[in-house]
Every structure is written in C-alpha cells, then in structure tokens.
Amino acid sequence: MEQERYLSASPHVSDGESIPKIMYGVVLALLPAAVGAVYFFGLKALWIILIASAAAIGSEAAVQAALHKRITIADGSALVTGILVAFNVPASVPLWMPALGAIFGIVVGKHAFGGLGYNPMNPALLGRAFLLASWPTHMTVFTAAPRGGSLSGIEPATISALGLDAVTQATPLKLLKGAREVLANSAVADPAKYADYAKAVNALYDSYGNLFWGKVGGCIGETSAFLLLVGALFLLYKRYIGWKIPFAYLGTVALLSWIFAGTDGLFSGKPLFHLLSGGVMLGAFYMATDMVTSPVTFRGRLLFGAGCGVITMIIRLIGGYPEGVCYSILLMNLTVPLLDRSTRPRILGEKK
C-alpha cells in the first residue's frame, strides 16, 4: 500500500507556539498593570478596560463578518489591542472614547490593511493617536490623581509643606517641561515662579519611589513601572519578546536624557526619571515589540529601538507634547521594511 505524503510551503519546523497562546500570554502579562490601574484609579479604570476590550472584539467580529472572512476573535489579538488602547487613556476620559479608539485601531489600523500580520503600524497606538488628534484636551489634561499619590508624583505632604500646589497640578513630564522652560530663562522669569519651579524639580527628583510603584498621574496602564516590569519579565522568560528592542529603546532614552534633559545644562539630566515617567516602559516592552510591526533582524531591532528612543526624546524636549512614545513607535513602524532589507544577514557565499 502506498504511503500518503503531503507537500507544503516552508517553514517546516514548529515549536508548539500559536497565535492564541502568545496573545493570551500577553494578556496575562498585562494583568498586573490592569489590577494596578483599578487600584490606583478606581472602578472607572475597570470600565475603561472592559469597554475598550469589548469594542475591539466586537468591531473585529463585525468587520470579518461583513467581509465574509473567518471570525478569529478567539485568537486574543483583538483583546490585546483593546487592553492596550485602554492603558493609553487617562482615567478622566468619557467612556465612549476608549471604545472609539479601539474600534479605530481594529478597523483602520488592522483590517484596512488585510488583518493580523499585514498591518504596518501598531493598531492600539494608532487608536491612541486618533484620540489624541481628535480630542487633545481629554487626552492630555489629567485630573484624576492616583490613590495615595498626586498627579506629579510628589508626596502630597511635600507639596503642602513647600506650598507648591500652583505648579504641581500636572504629570511629572509636563511639570518638568514647564520647569525647564522657566529655569532656562532665569533672567526674565518671575522670581517667585522661578523659586517654585526650582523647589518642584528637586522634589520631583526625590519621587522615584512613587514613579516606580505607580502613585502618579497619567494614563491608567502606564503609571506603575514595577507592575509593567513584572509582566515584561514573563514575556522575556517565555520568549514572546526579545531583549534587543527594549534594551535599545530604554538605553537611548537614558543616554539622551542624561545629556540633554537636565535643568543645569548638558550632562545634568536624570535618566531614571525619564525611564520611570510617562509611557516608556509600556511602549518599550509591550508595543514596540509587536512582532507584526517590528523588524526581524538583529541589527534591525537594535536600530528600531534606538530610533524610538531618539524620537521620544526629541518630542519630549523640543516638541509640543511632554510625551512622545506613541508617535515614536508609529513612525518607526513605517521604517521596518527598510530596516529589514538593509540589515538582512548576508547569505554564505553571497557577493555584493
């Protein structure tokens, strides 16, 4: 009896991983930060996460049904997009906003290009960029202070003792950006305002503990570096992400912030402050490493991470926004085909 044989295209080696297994692994990694978001910002954060997730899954099912495609909402990719959109909005936004951001990310950022595996940019970040461009006030004015903390991350008792209420009603990056502008123009600055910002910057640099644990204002999923690192270690252990992009991203942010981001001239910046503030941790480990929208080569990943870091610091130091993670990753997503082509390893024996 003749034995049946099957022919198929490469690759022919399987390691047992699958899209659902990886996606639900990412969801599991995001769980500590989600619990932290609810703890710090209350039940409103839970509603934001649930609504954004439901909107992402529902819109994916609707698009695939309309296009007569197989419905793949069970693979977990839409759920990841929904959670990440929720993590990228403040707790004070109206509940329709994360839903709209998730729908935009799924419909325009993902299925307009053919679905999972074909999208050139991270769908969750595209959803955030859409919300940021459409309703900038809702996305950049933070009014919800975390439980036991303050918007700036400075201890409430310190704010009261130093009389800094007037200058600390902002997130750490926004406070530092305002302070740098005032301190850099000491000759024309109001003396009282100059003194307040000088004291606020010193207090800000003494608040690393609050920045690390999450007792600081910001988008609901980005404030706790500790909880994000817990999930990131799990992803690294499972090899769902590699070290190259986060290492290059965080290393570039640390280097450039040390050189250019200080209030006393070159080489006076505080790298740890910039690593713990804003969305760098969330972006470096959970969004820049998206396997669909990041390079596959060794050098390509290092260049991609470094590019994200450079653009982030340009926006933070020179741009109009105090934060630059979202646009840095989206812009670098567009360079991925070029990076992969230009850093492709030479085939043995190949001559250029």
pLDDT digits (tens, 9 = 90+) for 135-167: 999 998 888 889 988 998 888 888 888 888 777
- 98 falls in which pLDDT band (50, 70, 90)? very high
Encoded tokens for 111: 């299925």
> Looking at the predicted structure, is the pLDDT value of residue 123 above 70?
yes
> Looking at the predicted structure, is the pLDDT value of residue 296 above 80?
yes
CA terminus-to-terminus distance, the chain: 51
**Planar angle of CA 26, 29, 35, nearest 5 degrees:** 125
In total, the chain counts a number of residues equal to 352
The amino acid present at 287, given as its one-letter code, is M
232: left (phi over 0), alpha (psi -120 to 50) or beta: alpha
**Distance (Å, rounded) from C-alpha 84 to C-alpha 81?**
5
Q: Report the pLDDT averaged over residues 206-222.
A: 93
Q: Output the pTM of the full model.
A: 0.92
Residue 177 is predicted with a pLDDT of: 87
Task: Tally Cβ neighbours within 10 Å of residue 233.
Answer: 12
pLDDT of 8-33, one tens digit each? 766 666 677 889 999 999 999 999 99
The amino acid present at 300, given as its one-letter code, is G
